[in-house]
Structure 1
């Protein structure tokens, strides 16, 4: 239950901060994703990794890093 709440909250933060939207990604049907700044992200997967104790994972850093990820994706 915590994973769903944290994933939904993180997705909403991304949507509101970067004018994104919830989408369904073609490679993962049925898995909610967030699209913002031209990048598709999976906040529920990230929440699972953070709650699972994966080192160096942070919900806050995910949201803060999104503009840099989008800029790099544009260059590549």
Structure 2
């Protein structure tokens, strides 16, 4: 599963990557996490608030660090 985390590298963006990685390891799901920090690239997804999460090309979350349960639902 291809996951992109969009954000400028702030603490919330790093926390988003960490929670996705942790849940993926807990569930044994194979994920590829790409961190996108370029603002032009971020805006190209239609995102104005970060962190944002894109899964398989679709924005599924933006504006906050997702919860463990949210990430779990995405990976199922």
TM-score in terms of structure 1 length: 0.37
| Structure with the higher fraction of residues in helix conformation | 1
Instruction: Tell me which of the two structures has the higher relative contact order, counting C-alpha pairs closer than 8 angstroms and 6 or more residues apart.
Output: 2
Structure (1 or 2) with the larger CA radius of gyration: 1
